[in-house]
Amino acid sequence: MENPSPIAVDLSGQKALVTGATRGLGRAIAITLAANGAGVACIGTNEAKLNETVEFIRSAGGEADAYVCNVADPAAVAATCDAVIEKWGFVDILVNNAGITRDKLLMQMEDDDWDAVLNINLKGTFLFTRALSRLMISKRKGKIINISSVSGLMGNPGQANYSASKAGIIGFTATVAKEIAKRGVTCNAIAPGFMQTDMTAALGEVGLDIAKQTIPMKKVGQPQDIANAVLFLASPAASYITGQVLAVDGGMTC
């Protein structure tokens, strides 16, 4: 299938699992990994959108399967990982991308707003990493790539829950990297800035124009920019990189 990335990596024979693969960043990541030869297990809760991603990959000649799963549900995550491993035997690349927002100022934020975001964004990352890192450690190989955010690096008003979850992913990534480095498994994070996705589209044209003024490059990024970074970290070229946070943000965190 045609590679949407400006870089090419031979991932033939490798298997990847991507959470939140229904749209935006996750969809671009899944398509890019598949275009470079990986089989991709696409994880999400919207079955129709998930199947769209899978069918797009298959129609282009790639390999993909859909798995409907709530990433915050321990039993569902365990069952999904078991199903993927039963089919493929191994997962070489794990991309923890699933995430939601429920933006409100702190004084207006309800307990449910906090819990929902932390559960999907942070707990989901923990559950999939715990489930699949065991096998990676036993095989002494594997790449874990967690999608954080610049909000986890610098905070953002109205996003106390989201920023906390994304900062948690950064701390989680550093700790996991240190725990598993000697076993041949790497764990890194990517911190996207403002990306052109459904999530940022909710800001509206005025909101996006204001956001652009905070970006040194004066433009928002594209999902493919994140997919390119994932592809690099999943490649042999990044075999000596672990515990790092790669900001893909047009210079916001300079």
3-state secondary structure (DSSP) of residue 245:
strand
d(CA 243, CA 163): 19
Contact 205, 166 (CB under 8 A): no
Per-residue pLDDT tens over the stretch 139-196 = 999 999 999 999 999 999 999 999 999 999 999 999 999 999 999 999 999 999 999 8
Predicted confidence at residue 18, as pLDDT, reads 99
Which pTM was predicted? 0.96
Q: Closest Cα to residue 133, out of 73, 177, 67?
A: 177
Tally of CA atoms within 13 A in the half-sphere of 111 that contains its CB: 0
Between 3.90.1150.10, 3.30.2320.80, 3.30.1490.20, 3.40.50.720, what CATH number should domain 15-245 receive? Answer: 3.40.50.720
Which residues are tagged catalytic? Answer: 162
Helical residues (DSSP H) of the chain, grouped into ranges: 24-35, 47-59, 74-88, 111-118, 124-139, 151-154, 160-180, 198-201, 204-213, 223-234
Predicted confidence at residue 205, as pLDDT, reads 76
Burial group, residue 240, by CB count within 10 angstroms (0-12, 13-18, 19+): exposed
d(CA 243, CA 210): 32
Other CB atoms within 10 A of residue 2 CB: 8
Residue written as tokens 């989901």? 124
pLDDT, mean of each 10-residue run, the chain (254 residues): 94 98 97 98 98 98 98 98 98 98 96 98 98 97 98 95 98 98 98 86 72 90 97 98 98 94
Predicted confidence at residue 197, as pLDDT, reads 84
d(CA 155, CA 164): 8
Predicted confidence at residue 49, as pLDDT, reads 97
The greatest distance separating any two alpha carbons of the chain, rounded to the nearest whole angstrom, comes to 50
The DSSP bridge partners found for residue 68 are: 44
Q: What angle do CA 21, 48, 193 make, to 5 degrees?
A: 30
Residue written as tokens 């042999």? 236
Distances (CA, A) of 74 to 7, 24, 90, 160, 172: 36, 25, 20, 25, 18
d(CA 57, CA 50): 11
Predicted confidence at residue 160, as pLDDT, reads 97
Q: Which are the contacts of 50, defined by CB distance < 8 A and separation ≥ 6?
A: 21, 22, 42, 43, 44, 66, 67, 68
3-state secondary structure (DSSP) of residue 161:
helix
Predicted confidence at residue 203, as pLDDT, reads 65
Would you list the domain boundaries of the chain? 15-245
